[in-house]
């Protein structure tokens, strides 16, 4: 069975500090991977997607970057956090060539 693990579960970070959020998918090779973000009280929106190792496409510009260093790993990062980065970050995956998307449990980020 496929499992998706996100870390950390929650973070409180200062404005201007760096950030790294991670996601690992086990049990499925070469999945499509996605990062989504939801501001408090807001609508979920896709930030990045990746169909293969080393290849990441940006969907929304939020002064964040993403990387896929391994087939089963997706990293979201920034050098300098803004207050507007606060919210809920969700990693997701889908089978190559199929449409149904599955989500991790998310990371709640508070920037102070």
Partner 1 sequence: GQQVQQSPASLVLQEGENAELQCNFSSTATQLQWFYQSPGGSLVSLLSNPSGTKHTGRLTSTTVTKERRSSLHISSSQTTDSGTYLCAIGDSGYNKLTFGKGTVLLVSP
SS3 label, residue 36: strand
**In this chain, which of 44, 52, 63, 79 binds partner 1, going by CB under 8 A?**
44
Tokens read off for 64: 């964040």
The verdict on 106 binding partner 1 (CB under 8 A) reads: yes
For 83, the 3-state DSSP assignment is helix
Residue 59 CB partners (closer than 8 Å, separation 6+)? 45, 46, 47, 48, 49
Between CA 99 and CA 2, with CA 55 as vertex, the angle to 5 degrees is 45
* Residue of the chain from 19, 21, 34, 78 that contacts partner 1 (CB under 8 A): 34
State in angstroms the smallest separation of the CB of 59 from partner 1.
Answer: 6
Told to check if 103 binds partner 1 by CB under 8 A, we report yes
Site map 61..90 versus partner 1, x via CB under 8 A: ---------------------------x-x
What is d(CA 112, CA 105) in angstroms, rounded to the nearest whole number?
23
Residues in contact with partner 1 by CB under 8 A are 32, 34, 36, 38, 43-46, 49, 51, 57, 59, 88, 90, 94, 99-106, 108
């Amino acid at each position: 069975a496929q499992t998706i693990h996100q870390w950390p579960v929650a973070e409180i970070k200062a404005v201007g500090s760096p950030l790294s959020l991670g996601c690992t998918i086990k049990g499925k090779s070469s999945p499509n991977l996605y990062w989504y973000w939801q501001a408090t009280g807001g609508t979920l929106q896709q930030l990045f997607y990746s169909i293969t190792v080393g290849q990441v496409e940006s969907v929304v510009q939020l002064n964040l970057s993403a990387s896929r260093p391994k087939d089963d790993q997706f990293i979201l990062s920034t050098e300098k956090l803004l207050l507007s980065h606060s919210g809920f970050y969700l990693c997701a995956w889908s089978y190559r060539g199929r449409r149904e998307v599955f989500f991790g449990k998310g990371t709640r980020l508070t920037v102070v």
